Amino acid sequence: MNEFSKSCIAGYEWFKQRGQNNEKLDPLADERFTFINGRLVIDSPSTAREDDGRYQCAAENKYGKILSNQVELAFGCKNHFSCIRFITLLTRFSCH
């Protein structure tokens, strides 16, 4: 897996949970993060860069603002010789 992505629509911001706080993701500060039509894309996610964890989207339009449920990016290894990455999505988010 070379990429992780999750979608969010409307005017949006993406956050990563750091302890008790949410850190706003800035694609201008870290070129691995890209926002495309509400989708968060992390290029080459890695535990070494502390990409694993919980992510959340805040969407806003003229009717108000809403927070998505959190999604979790997790990595794991299978057996002693073969290492694979996997993604656990805890929930889906949609704006109506």
pLDDT at position 79: 57
Tabulate helix, strand, coil % of the chain (nearest 5): 0, 45, 55
pLDDT at position 16: 93
**pTM of whole model > 0.85?**
no
pLDDT at position 15: 94
**Extents of the domains making up the chain:** 3-73
CB atoms within 10 A of CB 73: 21
pLDDT band for position 35 (cuts 50, 70, 90): confident
Q: 79: helix, coil or strand? A: coil
pLDDT at position 80: 57
Pick the CATH number of 3-73 from 3.20.20.120, 2.60.40.10, 3.40.50.150, 3.40.50.300: 2.60.40.10
Q: For residue range 40-73, what is the model confidence (pLDDT) as tens digits?
A: 888 888 878 888 899 999 888 888 888 888 888 8
